[in-house]
Structure 1
Amino acid sequence: MTPAAYAVLNTEAVAHNVAVARRHAPTAKLMAVIKANGYGHGLLRIADALAGVDAFAVARGDEGIRLRNAGFTQPITVLEGFRNGEDLDAFLQQRLDTVVHSFQQLEILETRVETEQLGVWLKIDTGMNRLGFRPADVAGVYQRLRQCRIIAGPIRFMTHLANADDKADPKTPEQIALFNATLEGYAGERSIANSAGVLGWQEALADWVRPGVMLYGISPFPELTRRELGLQPVMGLYSQLIAVKPVRQGETVGYSGTWRCPEATLLGVVAVGYGDGYPRYAKTGTPVLVNGRRVPLIGRVSMDMITVDLASQPDAKPGDPVALWNEALPVEEIAHCADTIPYTLVCGITQRVQIIEREN
């Protein structure tokens, strides 16, 4: 059966985007962020496409365990770290490195008698105000970590940039300066840069970089397109017309009648909706490609269908191809039309969307 909504993944684009990251950070090791099911692209599929990177980063331990069970041997860092002793046992068994960001974690580590089994990143909160130790606490935490028998190898350091997607914002250089000042005199590898840091802030390029969204061909900057950054999109979302019908002037379309036809036109119904991951709040006028040509979304997005104005395509018919985003229609543009960010769109693809892999 031909799928209604389906996503086409070009996994060769992943390698291209890795090469872009390496050109921007030629001396840094690359920790590829593949959390949230590889940003909706499939955890194991993306890990396969990233086989040449130095390490993986995931948000939670179960993601790291999936990678280990699938046979991946690269270092894996769990960015949220372990939550309790049971988690820590699993990290040890599966050889997962952990971020240490809280005193609760530190206290758990101090109770363990295992010797040199756990790789650790000490996280410093330089202004994100999410996870991490305040700079004033770092010296004491570092000394306590050095006394923990369970820790293997040198302690490494990381922070996370809050506003790196805004090149005019002074917060990023402030965070970088605070991180460096806090660690003056300390040995140990460091990591600062996310995707925006890699592409936009050379001073953030430390021993390790942690690119995420750029690996999937998506710009981390609202004012720059992925083409301007030299990135290739990995995901395209597609469907087809399932109905074409005339609508008269003055008739309304869709739930709540939010769109009223200003003049007689031809309406197309596309088999995709928020049940597939298309954004519920995409506005009237959001572009959709029908037969490779732009037409506007009209009316509200429903669970299984959207409607488009086919006035510019009077010969359109059921079965004609539709692209919701792809190489020619950037996902960043659709996100802007829905008052969201592209991360939410690619991460929001649902289980009923068929995934098709292809090469360039």
Structure 2
Amino acid sequence: MRPLIASIRLENLRHNYLLAKQMAGGPTLAVIKANAYGHGALRCAQALADVADGFAVACLEEAVQLREGGVSLPIVLLEGVFEAAELAAVEAHDLWCVVQSPQQLDMVLQANPAKPYTVWLKMDSGMHRAGFFPQDYAAAHCKLMASGKVSKIVKMSHFARADEPQLSATHAQLEAFDSVCRYLPGEESIANSAGILCHERAHRQWNRAGIMLYGASPLPAGFEQGAALKPVMRLTSRVFGVRELAAGEPVGYGASFVAERPTRVGLIACGYADGYPRLASTGSPVAIDGVRSRVIGRVSMDMMTVDLTDLPQAGIGSEVELWGDTVHINEVAAQAGTISYEVLCNVKRAHFQYH
């Protein structure tokens, strides 16, 4: 069996959720969209079922998977519905639905539900991706309240730059949100992971913990607010080939790495088809039998090569941690010029083991 293992530590997931809720000071949704950021949505939901206040997913398919798996806690559809016919499934599965456009608003207003919906009404407070502009928000809220189609409205928005705490953008978004929402009835939700970690003013009746659930801080290096988070996924493989290169010899496609000294190379079973980022080639950190080393050469589809030169005890069968406890996922993401969210979401072909 190919020795690429994604070990999912569910106790760490629970630890991170409880930490997020403690920091937020109130009810918190566990965001498990995109298959729980690559960790397995149903297994993660089941592990959090006795502690979480609810879950958030992107779309109806993700919510139905959870309901069919026995998850009974509230589930918010963060993208809402894509066509009016989906509202029947929203009602059938007792889902909470985001409304973020005039089209979605009209779908709700024209529906005839047997039981009124719970709607999360989204404001575009400055991200300019989705939601009602502040000047249009109160009117949408009033239409929903007057329609008889809605039993509850949660006022929500989403931060664009909360992971850059030194900037004023988040403060400006909060001002835009509060300038309208303070006059409207209903609970509120605006804090994402970065908002929970470092924007106390954003903590409201509902908070939304995403990437921090999985043990990765969204904040830049040097910010310690996420230091207590524990990595949930540990991705490992094993060395299955070793060779010696003389100084001046290349390894891998394109000869992108040329040995500057006699170099001992380990071949491992993992590549970009497994989700390891191709751009994180020479220099990306790994841990071999617990000792940090590096990737050398270009990451290929199914394999990659690592530097064993200073690790004389390492060889065939040695464990290689690609990220987890010794190598932080943010380090690998930075080497690839991306973010931990993308790297985690891309994991595939690994054998998932839940602990």
| TM-score, scaled to structure 2 | 0.97
**Where does residue 38 of structure 1 map in the other structure?**
36
Instruction: Report the alpha carbon displacement of residue 122 of structure 1 after superposing the two structures with TM.
Output: 0.7
Q: Alignment partner of 1:210: what SS?
A: strand
**Where does residue 170 of structure 1 map in the other structure?**
168
**Where does residue 290 of structure 1 map in the other structure?**
288
Instruction: Report the alpha carbon displacement of residue 228 of structure 1 after superposing the two structures with TM.
Output: 5.1
- The one-letter amino acid of 1:206's match is R
1:333 pairs with 2:331: yes
**Where does residue 88 of structure 2 map in the other structure?**
89
Q: Alignment partner of 1:178: what SS?
A: helix
Deviation per CA, 1:67-125, whole angstroms, max 9, x where unpaired? 11111111111000011111111111111110001111111222223354311011000
**Where does residue 343 of structure 1 map in the other structure?**
341
Instruction: Report the alpha carbon displacement of residue 274 of structure 1 after superposing the two structures with TM.
Output: 0.8
**Where does residue 246 of structure 1 map in the other structure?**
244
Alignment of 1:131-150 (within 5 A): 131-150=130-149
Q: In the alignment, which of 174, 180, 198 is matched to residue 178 of structure 2?
A: 180
Deviation per CA, 1:160-212, whole angstroms, max 9, x where unpaired? 01100011110001101110111132110000100000010000001110011
Instruction: Report the alpha carbon displacement of residue 214 of structure 1 after superposing the two structures with TM.
Output: 0.5
Q: In structure 2, how many angstroms separate the alpha carbons of the residues matched to 1:141 and 1:155? A: 11
Q: In structure 1, how many angstroms separate the alpha carbons of the residues matched to 2:88 and 2:159? A: 30
Contact 1:114-1:149 at 8 Å conserved across structures:
no
Q: In the alignment, which of 194, 206, 211 is matched to residue 208 of structure 1?
A: 206
**Where does residue 22 of structure 1 map in the other structure?**
21
- The one-letter amino acid of 1:121's match is W
- The one-letter amino acid of 2:129's match is R
- The one-letter amino acid of 1:309's match is D
Q: In structure 1, how many angstroms separate the alpha carbons of the residues matched to 2:222 and 2:339? A: 13
Moved more, 139-148 or 81-90: 139-148
Q: 1:294 to 1:214 in 2, by over 3 A?
A: same
Q: Alignment partner of 1:36: what SS?
A: helix
> Runs of 4+ in structure 1 displaced over 4 angstroms?
224-228
Question: RMSD of the TM alignment (CA)?
Answer: 1.4
Contact 1:77-1:97 at 8 Å conserved across structures:
yes
Q: In the alignment, which of 21, 46, 49 is matched to residue 47 of structure 2?
A: 49
Q: Alignment partner of 1:132: what SS?
A: coil
Q: In structure 1, how many angstroms separate the alpha carbons of the residues matched to 2:154 and 2:82? A: 20
Deviation per CA, 1:275-311, whole angstroms, max 9, x where unpaired? 1111111031111111111112111000111111211
**Where does residue 192 of structure 1 map in the other structure?**
190
Q: 1:292 to 1:82 in 2, by over 3 A?
A: same
Instruction: Report the alpha carbon displacement of residue 226 of structure 1 after superposing the two structures with TM.
Output: 7.5
Contact 1:249-1:261 at 8 Å conserved across structures:
yes
Instruction: Report the alpha carbon displacement of residue 259 of structure 1 after superposing the two structures with TM.
Output: 0.9
Instruction: Report the alpha carbon displacement of residue 225 of structure 1 after superposing the two structures with TM.
Output: 6.9
Q: Alignment partner of 1:179: what SS?
A: helix
1:353 pairs with 2:350: yes
Instruction: Report the alpha carbon displacement of residue 22 of structure 1 after superposing the two structures with TM.
Output: 2.0
Q: In structure 2, how many angstroms separate the alpha carbons of the residues matched to 1:142 and 1:317? A: 64
Contact 2:138-2:184 at 8 Å conserved across structures:
no
Q: 1:104 to 1:46 in 2, by over 3 A?
A: same
- The one-letter amino acid of 1:144's match is K
Report the number of matched residues: 354
Q: Alignment partner of 1:312: what SS?
A: coil
Q: In structure 2, how many angstroms separate the alpha carbons of the residues matched to 1:221 and 1:24? A: 15
Structure 2: any 5+ residue segments left out of the alignment?
Answer: none
Q: In structure 1, how many angstroms separate the alpha carbons of the residues matched to 2:288 and 2:223? A: 22
Contact 1:112-1:149 at 8 Å conserved across structures:
no
Q: 1:144 to 1:261 in 2, by over 3 A?
A: same
The percent of aligned pairs where both chains have the same amino acid is 41
Q: In structure 2, how many angstroms separate the alpha carbons of the residues matched to 1:226 and 1:355? A: 30
**Where does residue 10 of structure 2 map in the other structure?**
11
Contact 1:33-1:211 at 8 Å conserved across structures:
yes
Q: Alignment partner of 2:294: what SS?
A: strand
Q: In structure 1, how many angstroms separate the alpha carbons of the residues matched to 2:34 and 2:226? A: 26
Q: In structure 2, how many angstroms separate the alpha carbons of the residues matched to 1:76 and 1:335? A: 30
Instruction: Report the alpha carbon displacement of residue 260 of structure 1 after superposing the two structures with TM.
Output: 1.0
- The one-letter amino acid of 1:305's match is M
- The one-letter amino acid of 1:119's match is T
Moved more, 287-296 or 140-149: 140-149
**Where does residue 230 of structure 2 map in the other structure?**
232
Instruction: Report the alpha carbon displacement of residue 30 of structure 1 after superposing the two structures with TM.
Output: 0.9
Deviation per CA, 1:226-259, whole angstroms, max 9, x where unpaired? 7952111100000000111111111111101111
